[in-house]
């Protein structure tokens, strides 16, 4: 009876992990690209301050991809839980960064409008003055 329940659990884990498993190569590719981006960013003076973020995000995606493969091949529910946890952390961090970028862009745009920066640019002035 115990063995039957284990096999049913493994089947369920394999079924649930299949959609992510079919995308695991893309998840790993994005993770590797983020890792490479972080390494190149660390080579610059300004980039060294923020380089840890893409490196961390890349590692999260690579680990998640590996755990998804483990869950699919072995039916290990703990590997699937860890993969989903890593993906959740990735999307939380990426969402916060996206919101910060949008807020920063809006603030810069408002500052540019209120200081008259856009009006003083020569390329935006018409030629008929």
pLDDT digits (tens, 9 = 90+) for 52-61: 999 999 999 9
pLDDT digits (tens, 9 = 90+) for 14-46: 998 999 999 999 999 999 999 999 999 999 988
Spatial separation of the C-alpha atoms in residues 5 and 128, rounded to whole Å: 82
- Residue 105 confidence (pLDDT) above 80: yes
Q: Which residues of 98-110 are buried (b: 16+ CB within 10 A; e: fewer)?
A: eeeeeeeeeeeee
- Residue 5 confidence (pLDDT) above 80: no
């Amino acid at each position: 009876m115990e063995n039957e329940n284990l096999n049913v659990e493994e089947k369920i884990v394999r079924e649930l992990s299949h959609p992510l498993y079919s995308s695991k190569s893309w998840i790993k590719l994005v993770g590797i690209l983020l890792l490479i981006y972080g390494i190149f960013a660390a080579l610059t003076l300004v980039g060294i301050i923020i380089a840890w973020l893409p490196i961390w995000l890349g590692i999260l995606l690579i680990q998640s991809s590996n755990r998804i493969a483990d869950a699919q091949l072995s039916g290990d529910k703990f590997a699937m839980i860890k993969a989903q946890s890593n993906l959740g952390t990735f999307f939380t961090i990426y969402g916060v960064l996206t919101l910060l970028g949008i807020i920063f862009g809006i603030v810069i745009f408002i500052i540019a409008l209120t200081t008259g920066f856009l009006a003083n640019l020569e390329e935006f002035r018409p030629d008929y003055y």
